[in-house]
Protein backbone atom coordinates (compact mmCIF):
# COMPACT_ATOMS: atom_id res chain seq x y z
CA UNK A 1 0.00 0.00 0.00
CA UNK A 2 0.90 3.64 -0.14
CA UNK A 3 1.92 5.33 3.04
CA UNK A 4 3.08 8.76 4.10
CA UNK A 5 4.20 9.36 7.67
CA UNK A 6 4.70 12.65 9.42
CA UNK A 7 4.49 13.59 13.11
CA UNK A 8 1.02 14.50 14.31
CA UNK A 9 2.05 17.57 16.26
CA UNK A 10 5.15 19.62 17.03
CA UNK A 11 5.78 22.58 19.28
CA UNK A 12 8.44 25.24 18.79
CA UNK A 13 9.35 28.67 20.09
CA UNK A 14 9.02 31.94 18.22
CA UNK A 15 12.31 32.84 16.55
CA UNK A 16 13.61 29.28 16.61
CA UNK A 17 14.07 26.68 13.87
CA UNK A 18 11.91 23.59 13.39
CA UNK A 19 12.23 20.60 11.07
CA UNK A 20 9.17 18.61 10.05
CA UNK A 21 9.96 15.17 8.68
CA UNK A 22 8.05 13.13 6.14
CA UNK A 23 8.73 9.55 5.09
CA UNK A 24 6.93 7.87 2.25
CA UNK A 25 6.35 4.51 0.62
CA UNK A 26 4.49 4.91 -2.64
CA UNK A 27 4.05 3.13 -5.94
CA UNK A 28 6.42 5.27 -7.94
CA UNK A 29 7.55 8.81 -7.32
CA UNK A 30 7.11 11.92 -9.40
CA UNK A 31 7.75 14.58 -6.82
CA UNK A 32 6.93 15.66 -3.30
CA UNK A 33 4.93 18.70 -2.24
CA UNK A 34 4.69 20.59 1.03
CA UNK A 35 1.56 22.61 1.73
CA UNK A 36 0.63 24.86 4.64
CA UNK A 37 -2.91 24.85 5.96
CA UNK A 38 -4.21 27.26 8.57
CA UNK A 39 -7.20 26.13 10.59
CA UNK A 40 -10.42 26.49 8.63
CA UNK A 41 -8.64 27.41 5.42
CA UNK A 42 -7.55 25.59 2.29
CA UNK A 43 -3.93 24.45 1.80
CA UNK A 44 -1.43 26.76 0.17
CA UNK A 45 1.60 25.61 -1.79
CA UNK A 46 5.01 25.86 -0.14
CA UNK A 47 7.44 23.74 -2.14
CA UNK A 48 7.97 21.00 -4.69
CA UNK A 49 10.98 18.65 -4.80
CA UNK A 50 11.59 16.09 -7.50
CA UNK A 51 15.39 15.84 -7.33
CA UNK A 52 17.52 15.05 -4.29
CA UNK A 53 18.78 17.97 -2.30
CA UNK A 54 17.74 21.13 -0.57
CA UNK A 55 15.48 23.80 -2.04
CA UNK A 56 15.54 27.10 -0.19
CA UNK A 57 12.80 29.68 -0.39
CA UNK A 58 13.12 32.48 2.14
CA UNK A 59 12.56 31.21 5.67
CA UNK A 60 11.37 27.85 4.38
CA UNK A 61 13.55 25.08 2.93
CA UNK A 62 12.61 21.61 1.76
CA UNK A 63 14.92 18.62 1.44
CA UNK A 64 14.46 15.36 -0.45
CA UNK A 65 16.26 12.01 -0.46
CA UNK A 66 14.59 9.68 -2.92
CA UNK A 67 16.75 6.70 -1.97
CA UNK A 68 15.61 7.01 1.64
CA UNK A 69 12.00 7.93 0.86
CA UNK A 70 12.46 10.96 3.08
CA UNK A 71 11.82 14.67 3.04
CA UNK A 72 11.84 17.45 5.57
CA UNK A 73 10.52 20.98 5.72
CA UNK A 74 12.74 23.40 7.62
CA UNK A 75 11.24 26.59 8.99
CA UNK A 76 13.62 29.27 10.27
CA UNK A 77 13.02 32.40 12.36
CA UNK A 78 9.63 31.10 13.38
CA UNK A 79 6.79 33.57 13.62
CA UNK A 80 3.47 33.18 15.37
CA UNK A 81 1.73 33.17 11.98
CA UNK A 82 3.59 29.95 11.12
CA UNK A 83 1.26 28.09 13.48
CA UNK A 84 -0.56 25.82 11.05
CA UNK A 85 -0.70 22.28 9.76
CA UNK A 86 1.97 21.26 7.27
CA UNK A 87 0.99 18.63 4.74
CA UNK A 88 3.40 16.37 2.87
CA UNK A 89 2.09 14.93 -0.39
CA UNK A 90 3.73 12.61 -2.93
CA UNK A 91 2.93 12.37 -6.61
CA UNK A 92 2.86 8.65 -7.38
CA UNK A 93 3.45 6.75 -10.62
CA UNK A 94 -0.08 7.59 -11.79
CA UNK A 95 0.51 11.27 -11.03
CA UNK A 96 -1.99 11.04 -8.18
CA UNK A 97 -1.24 13.08 -5.08
CA UNK A 98 -1.02 10.92 -1.97
CA UNK A 99 -1.50 13.04 1.14
CA UNK A 100 0.01 12.66 4.58
CA UNK A 101 -2.19 13.34 7.61
CA UNK A 102 -0.38 16.61 8.31
CA UNK A 103 1.73 17.94 11.15
CA UNK A 104 0.17 20.53 13.42
CA UNK A 105 2.83 23.06 14.36
CA UNK A 106 2.26 25.09 17.51
CA UNK A 107 4.43 28.17 17.99
CA UNK A 108 4.85 29.49 21.51
CA UNK A 109 6.06 33.01 22.35
CA UNK B 1 -1.83 34.06 -10.82
CA UNK B 2 -3.38 30.61 -10.36
CA UNK B 3 -6.37 31.68 -8.31
CA UNK B 4 -9.20 29.28 -7.59
CA UNK B 5 -12.48 30.45 -6.14
CA UNK B 6 -15.25 28.52 -4.47
CA UNK B 7 -18.82 29.48 -3.87
CA UNK B 8 -20.43 29.51 -1.41
CA UNK B 9 -17.82 29.77 1.34
CA UNK B 10 -20.28 28.35 3.82
CA UNK B 11 -23.79 26.94 3.64
CA UNK B 12 -26.34 25.58 6.06
CA UNK B 13 -29.04 23.33 4.68
CA UNK B 14 -31.76 21.06 5.97
CA UNK B 15 -31.48 17.30 5.88
CA UNK B 16 -32.82 15.88 2.62
CA UNK B 17 -32.07 18.92 0.49
CA UNK B 18 -29.36 19.28 -2.16
CA UNK B 19 -26.49 21.74 -2.19
CA UNK B 20 -24.36 22.82 -5.14
CA UNK B 21 -20.79 24.06 -4.69
CA UNK B 22 -18.97 25.82 -7.53
CA UNK B 23 -15.25 25.80 -8.15
CA UNK B 24 -13.72 28.20 -10.66
CA UNK B 25 -10.20 28.75 -11.90
CA UNK B 26 -10.08 32.52 -12.35
CA UNK B 27 -6.93 33.15 -14.34
CA UNK B 28 -6.01 29.83 -15.91
CA UNK B 29 -7.61 26.90 -17.64
CA UNK B 30 -7.77 23.81 -15.48
CA UNK B 31 -7.56 20.53 -17.32
CA UNK B 32 -8.17 18.63 -14.11
CA UNK B 33 -10.06 19.56 -10.97
CA UNK B 34 -10.17 17.68 -7.70
CA UNK B 35 -12.72 17.58 -4.93
CA UNK B 36 -11.64 16.92 -1.35
CA UNK B 37 -13.46 16.57 1.93
CA UNK B 38 -11.88 17.30 5.27
CA UNK B 39 -13.33 16.50 8.67
CA UNK B 40 -12.12 18.41 11.73
CA UNK B 41 -8.52 17.64 12.69
CA UNK B 42 -8.20 15.15 9.84
CA UNK B 43 -6.27 15.23 6.60
CA UNK B 44 -7.62 15.91 3.17
CA UNK B 45 -9.57 13.06 1.65
CA UNK B 46 -9.79 12.97 -2.12
CA UNK B 47 -13.36 12.37 -3.25
CA UNK B 48 -13.06 12.54 -7.02
CA UNK B 49 -11.02 13.73 -9.96
CA UNK B 50 -12.67 15.37 -12.92
CA UNK B 51 -11.39 16.23 -16.35
CA UNK B 52 -13.19 18.75 -18.51
CA UNK B 53 -15.82 17.15 -20.67
CA UNK B 54 -15.61 13.68 -19.20
CA UNK B 55 -17.09 11.81 -16.28
CA UNK B 56 -15.49 12.19 -12.90
CA UNK B 57 -13.41 9.40 -11.39
CA UNK B 58 -14.56 8.71 -7.85
CA UNK B 59 -12.42 7.33 -5.07
CA UNK B 60 -13.39 4.09 -3.42
CA UNK B 61 -16.19 4.54 -0.93
CA UNK B 62 -17.48 7.79 -2.42
CA UNK B 63 -21.03 7.47 -3.75
CA UNK B 64 -21.19 8.92 -7.24
CA UNK B 65 -24.98 9.23 -7.11
CA UNK B 66 -24.79 11.24 -3.93
CA UNK B 67 -21.91 13.51 -4.88
CA UNK B 68 -22.57 14.66 -8.43
CA UNK B 69 -19.65 16.28 -10.17
CA UNK B 70 -19.87 18.24 -13.39
CA UNK B 71 -16.81 19.70 -15.09
CA UNK B 72 -18.53 21.56 -17.88
CA UNK B 73 -15.72 23.87 -18.90
CA UNK B 74 -12.01 24.40 -18.38
CA UNK B 75 -12.74 26.95 -15.66
CA UNK B 76 -15.73 25.52 -13.82
CA UNK B 77 -16.50 22.37 -11.88
CA UNK B 78 -19.48 21.83 -9.61
CA UNK B 79 -20.12 19.42 -6.77
CA UNK B 80 -23.73 18.74 -5.82
CA UNK B 81 -24.40 16.99 -2.54
CA UNK B 82 -27.78 15.36 -3.06
CA UNK B 83 -30.18 14.46 -0.25
CA UNK B 84 -27.74 15.80 2.31
CA UNK B 85 -27.57 14.29 5.79
CA UNK B 86 -25.89 15.59 8.96
CA UNK B 87 -22.97 13.20 8.41
CA UNK B 88 -22.23 15.05 5.16
CA UNK B 89 -21.37 18.13 7.19
CA UNK B 90 -17.73 18.82 6.38
CA UNK B 91 -15.25 21.19 4.78
CA UNK B 92 -15.26 20.67 1.00
CA UNK B 93 -12.24 21.92 -0.91
CA UNK B 94 -11.63 21.94 -4.62
CA UNK B 95 -8.31 22.23 -6.38
CA UNK B 96 -7.27 22.68 -9.96
CA UNK B 97 -4.30 21.65 -12.04
CA UNK B 98 -3.11 23.44 -15.11
CA UNK B 99 -1.81 20.30 -16.77
CA UNK B 100 1.12 19.69 -19.05
CA UNK B 101 4.31 19.40 -17.01
CA UNK B 102 2.78 21.05 -13.93
CA UNK B 103 1.30 18.82 -11.25
CA UNK B 104 0.89 21.49 -8.61
CA UNK B 105 -2.65 21.81 -7.36
CA UNK B 106 -4.09 25.24 -6.65
CA UNK B 107 -6.71 25.14 -3.94
CA UNK B 108 -9.94 27.03 -3.57
CA UNK B 109 -10.75 28.57 -0.18
CA UNK B 110 -13.12 25.75 0.74
CA UNK B 111 -16.83 25.49 1.51
CA UNK B 112 -18.05 24.65 4.96
CA UNK B 113 -21.28 22.65 4.74
CA UNK B 114 -23.51 22.17 7.77
CA UNK B 115 -26.55 19.93 7.41
CA UNK B 116 -29.14 20.30 10.15
Nearest C-alpha in B relative to A33: B104
Confidence of residue A73 (pLDDT cuts 50, 70, 90): very high
Q: Do A99 and B44 touch (CB under 8 A)?
A: yes
> Which residues of chain A neighbour B34 with C-beta distances below 8 Å?
97
Question: Hey, is A80 helix, strand or coil?
Answer: helix
Determine the straight-line distance between the first and last CA of chain B, rounded to whole angstroms.
37
Chain B touched by A17 (CB under 8 Å): no
pLDDT tens digits along A22-32: 999 998 999 99
Most confident of A21-25, A44-48, B97-101: A21-25
CA distance A94 to chain B (A): 11
**Which uninterrupted H or E stretch holds B67?**
strand B67-73
Average pLDDT estimate for A35-42: 91
**Tens of pLDDT, residues B18-71:** 999 999 999 888 889 999 999 887 888 999 999 888 889 999 999 999 999 998
Residue A101 distance to chain B (closest CA, Å): 5
A31-35, A74-78, B100-104: lowest mean pLDDT where?
B100-104
Q: Point out the residue among A41, A91, A102 whose CB comes nearest to the CB of B103.
A: A91
Q: How far apart are CA A57 and CA A108, in angstroms?
A: 23
Residues A64 and A73 sit within 8 Å (Cβ to Cβ): no
Give the pLDDT of residue B43.
81
Burial (Cβ within 10 Å: 0-12, 13-18, ≥19) of residue B72: exposed
Contact with chain A for residue B60, Cβ under 8 A: no
Contact B44 A100 (CB under 8 A): no
User: Do residues B111 and B20 make contact, with C-beta atoms less than 8 angstroms apart?
Assistant: no
Q: What is the share, in percent, of chain B residues with pLDDT greater than 90?
A: 68
User: Among A108, A82, A87, which Cα is nearest to A97's?
Assistant: A87
Amino acid sequence: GQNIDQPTEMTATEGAIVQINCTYQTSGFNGLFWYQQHAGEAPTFLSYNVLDGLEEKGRFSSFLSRSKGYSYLLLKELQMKDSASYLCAVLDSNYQLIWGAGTKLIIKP
Amino acid sequence: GAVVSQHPSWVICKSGTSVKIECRSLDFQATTMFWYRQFPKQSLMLMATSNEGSKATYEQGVEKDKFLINHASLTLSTLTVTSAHPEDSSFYICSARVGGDSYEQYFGPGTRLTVT
